Every structure is written in structure tokens, then in C-alpha cells.
Amino acid sequence: MDREKPTPFLSTPLAIVVAGVLIAGAIVLTDAFDIQLKREGSLRPSPQVAGTQTAPPPAGGPTTPQIVSVSVDDDPVLGNPNAPVTVIEFSDYECPYCKRSFQDMLPQLKKDYIDSGKVKLVYRDLPLPFHDPMATQEALAANCSRDQGGDAAYYRYHDEIFTRTTSNGNGLKKEDLTKIAQDLKLNSSTFQQCLTSEKFKSEIEKDLADAAAAGASGTPTFFVGKSSPNGIIQGTMIVGAQPYVAFKPVIDRLLAE
């Protein structure tokens, strides 16, 4: 017995319905994708206020580079101490934007300018209150490492903090600071005594005061200027986790002067 053949007129409406469902689904997915892109884009720092953990300045503010007098103090130097250009960084070890700058900008800056002796980097502490107590503890620990091994030991410790922390105030535990010291072959008991006594608390407080005087209210904030014998530069302020290309023209102009 032959089976009844399907009625032809059913296939066309059904196809239209299926096609409609597929098109609607595609539109929904496309809209969702666009929304996600917009959301991701909104998280990217703007060219003028990138990466600070403070509120953006009011619209219509100055767009010309801000030149500020700022001191290197007696803080650790990465690179040639006699380099013609100085970059001063006010930073917070628990700031995620500072970690981003360490990962994305610093390697290229180091390769092109620091390693060649043209630029020196001076790191100054600006631990933000909402990242404490860990941000200040990390700053103290880095200074304790410098106390044992000079600037080279400081920047090894600096690199390890930024490499290991997950940021935002709870990226490391206090015991992790001792572990880093042990991994870097520092004297553990000397390091622990230094950290517990907060030996370099006044040094960090001096950095905080100088940051405020220079107008550095968020992290990271950089000042780029010609080096001077008295350690005070007239620095172009660069705010936030700016890309390498934000630094290059400023440095090249200073080197050409």
C-alpha cells in the first residue's frame, strides 16, 4: 500500500516560519554582540584620563600637556642614572592600571630607551587608600628589598609584585611578600624585621605628599622631562595606563633639544 504523500502547500509556510525564526535569532545575536563590543569599549580608558582610579576631569578642561615641577627625591632608578631624560612614575602596586602599564608599556620603553641609556625611570609610591593595607605593605616590602640590594634588588622585587598580584587591594597576601623575598635570595630575617617595623613608612609618606603637590591624584601618573643635576624635572604629565605611543613623541622631542 502506498504511503500518503505530504501536502505540498504545508512546506512553504513552514519554510517561511523557520526562516523568520532564524533571521530573528541572528538579529538578537548581532545586537547582543554589538552591546558587548560597546560595553568592552566603554571599559577602555579614554586618551586623556586613561587608567586612573579617580573620577575623570570635567568636560572642557585643558587639553594642552601639563608641565609640572617634580622631584626624583631619593627613589629607586631603573637605567642609567645619568640618562638625559627622566620618567617619574607615581604608582600603586595594587592598581590594575599600574599592572597593565607594567605589562604593556614598560617593556617597550625599556627596550627602546632605558636599556640604551637614554631614559631613566624613577618609581615613586602612591598607594591609594582603597587598596590598603596591601598597597602600602607592598611599597614597604619593595623598599626593604632595596635596603638589602640597592636599586637592582628593588626593581626585581617590583617586577615580582606586579607579576604575581591580581590587583584591587587583595592581589597578594602579606605572607606572599616574604615568599618573594625568599625567592629573590634576600635575607629573610632582615627583610621581615624591616617590613614589620615599617622602616620606610616616612619615605612612602614623602612620596604621597610630593604626588599631591604635583597634582598626581590617580595611578599611574607619569612625568617626563629632561634630567637635571638637582633632581627636579619640568615634566610633561601623562595620566593613566597610556600606551607606549603616548610616551615616545615626548621623549623624542626632549632628546632632540
**Ranges of each domain in the chain:** 67-256
Backbone conformation region of residue 167, classed left if phi is above 0, alpha if psi is from -120 to 50, else beta = left
Residues of the chain falling short of pLDDT 50: 1-19, 21-50, 54-62
Start-end of H helices in 44-187? 96-104, 106-109, 134-164, 174-183
**What is the pLDDT, as a whole number, of residue 56?**
37
User: Cβ neighbours of residue 63 under 8 Å, at least 6 residues apart?
Assistant: 48
CB atoms within 10 A of CB 163: 11
How far apart CA 227 and CA 253 sit, in angstroms, is: 14
How far apart CA 217 and CA 195 sit, in angstroms, is: 26
In angstroms, how far is CA 221 from the centroid of its own chain? 9
| CA-wise closest residue to 220 among 98, 47, 76 | 98
Fold (topology level) of 67-256: Glutaredoxin (3.40.30)
**What is the pLDDT, as a whole number, of residue 38?**
33
How far apart CA 141 and CA 175 sit, in angstroms, is: 11
**What is the pLDDT, as a whole number, of residue 44?**
32
CB atoms within 10 A of CB 18: 10
Torsion of CA 110, 112, 118, 122, to 10 degrees: -20
**What is the pLDDT, as a whole number, of residue 65?**
76
Q: What pairs with residue 237 in β-bridges?
A: 223
Q: What is the CA radius of gyration of the chain?
A: 26
Cell of 200: 620606610
